Each structure stands twice: as structure tokens, then as C-alpha cells.
Chain A
Amino acid sequence: MNENLLWVEKYRPHKIDDVVGNEEAKAALLYWLKSKRRTKKAVLLYGPPGVGKTTLINAAANEFGFTVIEMNASDTRSEKAINAVAGPATSFVALDTFSTKSKGNVLFLDEVDGIAGNEDRGGVGAIIKIVENARIPVIMAANDPDIDKLRPLKKVCALIRFQPVRIPLIISMLQKICQKESVKAEFEALEKIAQNSRGDVRSAINDLQSLAEATKTLTLDDTVTLSLRNKDINLDETLRKYFSVKSLAEASKLLSWSSVDYDELLMSVGDNLPLRYTDPQALAEAYDFLSQADMFRGRIGTENWHLLKYFFNCLVLAAAVSPDTYQPFKLISPPIRIITLFWTKGKRTMLEGICGKIGVRCHVSRATAKQDFVPFLKMLLADQKSSDLISWLELQPEEVDFLMNMKKP
């Protein structure tokens, strides 16, 4: 084995059983791969980095004899590029199945949540088309499946979630590596590395290599230099932990780790506070802190980021009004305001269109048309004295229906 390889590569599992953790996800993927009549032609593996998504695909391909055709974040993944690589690969039986031991191809698109920007234009649409016409298994991996652009992709995929790998499993794997590399490691030092990795196996192995490769020994003192892995957590996880914190310090640490949008967090906390605090006194106190946080968010705007600590402080205080009274509850997420905007988007677009037509004819802005013209137009429509007006404004029948049925502008 090449001595110069990174340990992550050197000890990358070649068998499914050797992949550490996520037994349930492994079983689900194997079931999908073995299934002859798949309900979904593609599978999307998602979870935090370093938990074994890519490793599992390579190990499974190795064990089943598939050839992996991979496109990852380092490739351009525009519609043209995807069609050029993945199109032929998914629609024809590989020629090498006749000449080699390969049992066919698997298309693997790694980090699909990274498809973005002008370079990758049309990428997601191209993938969906390929999945629909694919004759071979299509597997995708992503860290964050909740981003908007992946929503259409999720509809055509079976989803398999990967969890952070547990500390005992990481320790046991580090012990195996130490044994093979003849590293004398203190158990407590391995414990520290595993705890520090926060479920990321790749980072744990990298930490072990950086600390022990040269000296072939590892003590707890050596791990002092390790800094805690910063790990992004999503809105659901943030809210779940935020409402169950036992202390101010815990809430503060949690918010510093969270990767969620501050405005979205603020709205979600506001939606969920009545479910968290049943005592009106505590609820009032929490809302008071939340209003202060909102005030600081307003002052921060897009440039005064030095005020962010005050925003966090107020949010932390809202979470810790009465820590002992916590009872798990069904979270409201995403925020009600965002859901409402989503559901009313069609109506708002229709109204904007009508206001635009009024604006052109009457030489007023859309806002003025909405405020001063639409209510009267609605009344005229109700009186059915407005056929000339409808043709003058060039309103379509569906726009007239919309105005007549609209409760308030």
C-alpha cells in the first residue's frame, strides 16, 4: 500500500460492511440497488459531510461489480456537460460488460446541492431528464437537500438520510487505524478526536494523521491543539435544540454553530414561542426579548454586523426564560409568513398584473393602482356596469373573475 497516501484514502473501505456507521442507510441503499422493480429510478443520499456517502457508493460498486461514472463538484455540470457525459452512460448498456467483469454502470452525481451559478446553468433540469430516461441506477449525494433548487429533483428520487457517525464507532475505527499504522495512542486522545469531529469520520482520520503520523504516538496532551469542528446545522435542528437548551451558554454556542438565515430564525422563533411557553408570564418575557432581537436585526441591516452579538444575546435570553419547563412539541417550520407567501404567490402575481394594466392606462404606479383603483374597479365589476372598462383595461376573463372573488386588495 502506498505510504504517501492520506490515511483517508489509504483506509477508504472497499466493502460495504467496512463503512462505519449508518447501518440503516446502508441497508436502504442495498435494498434499492438489489431491487429489480424500483419505484424511483434514482436515489439521493443526503447528510452532513464525512459520514460515508461517497465511500458507500464506491464500496457498493466494488462489491457488486459496477463501474462508477462520477461527476462531482470539480466538474462543470451545465445541461450540455451533463447530457454529454451522463446521457450516453445512462441510456446504453456498457460495452465493457461483455469484455470485463463489470456488471454495468452506475451514474454517481456527487454534491448535487453544489450545482449553481452560470457555469452549471440548466444542470438540475438535465439531471431530472436523465433520471426519467435512465436504464442504469442513478445515485446522487448532497449535504443539504432542503435547498429550493433541489425540490424538483427530490420528487424523482428515493431519499436516504445519513446521520453523523457516533463517537464509539469513530473511536473503534481510529483504534483500527492506529493498530495498522503501529501508532501507540492513548484511549482518551482518541476519545477527544472523536468528540471533536462531531460525527465527521473524514475529519477525525485527518486529525489523527496530523497528530500521530510523525511521532507514532498520541497522548491526550497532543490533542490540545485541536479546535472544535465548526458544523453548520439547519433550521429544524437549530429550533429543536434552541427550545430545549438548559443554559444561556448552551444556547449561545448553538446559535454560533447554526447556518440558518437570521430573519428566518427570528420568524420561526416567534411562531414557536407560544408552543414552548405555556405560562403567559414567561411567554410575554420571551416575546420581549425577541422584540429586542428584532430591533437589533433591523439596526444591523446589511452592514452593522458588529451588532450581531446583541441580536444573538437577545435570542439566547428568549430561549432561556424558563429552561426547566421544556416539554417537546411539534415545531412550526418553515415560518408561517414564508409558507403564506408561498401559497399566495399566484394570487399576488395576478394582482400585480392587473395593477400593471391599470397603471399603464391611468398613468399611475402599481402601488397607487392597488390602493386607489382596485377597490372601485371591484365595485364596478360587482354592479356589472363595466364591460367597456374591462375592454379598455384589456383585462382577461380570469383576471375579472379574480377581482370579483377577491376579498380585499
Chain B
Amino acid sequence: MTVLNKKAFRLPRLEKEKFVLLMRLGLNYDRASGMYGVVNCNNIEKLVDALSEILGDHDLSFTQTCLACGRDFPCNECRYYELCENRNLPFSCICGKCLEEGKTLKE
């Protein structure tokens, strides 16, 4: 499984068509750092398919950012992984530890 950080990740050198496709699907490229980041999630499933094809890994996942503690964590750590409607996609969530400790209640 490849886990990508949704804010910044590297990809191998791409053909022009694939690069344009990724930009259209919601990716952003920072020329200075050479890193890609997800900026638009409207076509996220198609974006994941395109990235899977480029990376040659069909088990692609994005890190999740915990809304309570700010930690980045992979989706497969979650106990609701199998039940999740949008697992592995780059959306914010709450990590298992914060949920058990009720950290969101203390805010």
C-alpha cells in the first residue's frame, strides 16, 4: 500500500497529457519544491484512479489529518475502516486515540 500525504507528495516524471489530466482532476504542482498536493476533491475518485495508474499501486491511500490533535495518520489505523463511505480519501477525520479520549468534547 502506498500512503501519500495529501498536502505534498512526489510523483515520477510525467508525460504532458497525464500532468494536464492530474491538474484538471484537482491536483496542484508546486514548481519550487517539485511537490504535488490535492486542492480540489470534486473528482477525487478519478484522481485516485489516475494516481494509482501512475504509481502502479492499486492500493493507494492518503493520510488523514486529525481535527482534534492535528496529527496525520493513515486510514487503515481506523477501526471503522471497512465501514467508511470514503476511506483512503484525503479528507479530515478524528484519529482513534482522540475519539476514545473524548478530546473533541473538551474543546
Contact = CB atoms under 8 A, between A and B. Distances in A.
Interface of A: 21-25, 28, 159-161, 163-164, 166-169, 171-172, 175-176, 179, 195, 198-199, 236-237, 240, 327-331
B85 A198 contact: yes
B67 A169 contact: yes
Interface residues of B, number: 29
A190 to B, nearest CB: 10
B80 A168 contact: yes
B76 interface: no
11 contacts: A23-B91, A24-B41, A163-B86, A168-B95, A171-B99, A172-B68, A176-B104, A199-B86, A327-B58, A329-B49, A330-B49
Interface in B71-91: 78, 80, 83-86, 89-91
A159 B86 contact: no
Contacts of A237: 45
Interface string B28-64: 0000000000001110010001101100001000000
A163 B91 contact: yes
Contact of B94 (A164, A172, A179, A330): A172
Given A163-B89, A175-B104, A236-B45, 5 more contacts: A167-B84, A168-B80, A172-B105, A329-B49, A330-B50
B102 A166 contact: no
Sorted nearest first, the 3 A-B pairs with minimum C-beta distance are A168-B94, A164-B85, A172-B104
B80 A167 contact: yes
Given A163-B41, A199-B85, A168 B78 contact: yes
Given A24-B41, A175-B104, A164 B86 contact: yes
A175 B80 contact: no
A104 to B, nearest CB: 27
A27 to B, nearest CB: 10
A161 B41 contact: yes
Given A171-B99, A175-B105, A328-B49, A166 B42 contact: no
A299 to B, nearest CB: 34
Contacts of A24: 41, 90-92
A121 B53 CA distance: 45
B93 A166 contact: yes
Contact of A166 (B52, B85, B104): B85
A328 B89 contact: no
B42 A169 contact: no
Nearest to A161: B42
Given A23-B67, A236-B45, A240-B45, A166 B91 contact: yes
Contacts of B104: 172, 175-176
A164 B83 CA distance: 12
Contacts of B83: 167, 195
A377 B53 CA distance: 51
Given A161-B41, A175-B102, A175-B105, A169 B93 contact: yes
B90 to A, nearest CB: 8
Nearest to A231: B85
A41 B27 CA distance: 23
Contacts of B50: 330
B75 to A, nearest CB: 10
Contacts of A23: 67, 91-92
B42 A160 contact: yes
Contacts of A22: 91
Nearest to B83: A195
Given A168-B78, A199-B85, A330 B93 contact: no
A168 B93 contact: yes
A166 B84 contact: yes
Contacts of B99: 168, 171-172
A330 B51 CA distance: 11
B80 A163 contact: no
Contacts of B84: 166-167
Contacts of A171: 99
Contacts of B93: 166, 168-169
B58 A179 contact: no
A196 B19 CA distance: 40
A239 to B, nearest CB: 11
Contacts of A328: 49, 52, 58
A237 B46 CA distance: 11
A176 B78 contact: no
Given A164-B85, A175-B104, A195 B80 contact: yes
A328 B51 CA distance: 11
Nearest to A24: B41
Contacts of B52: 328
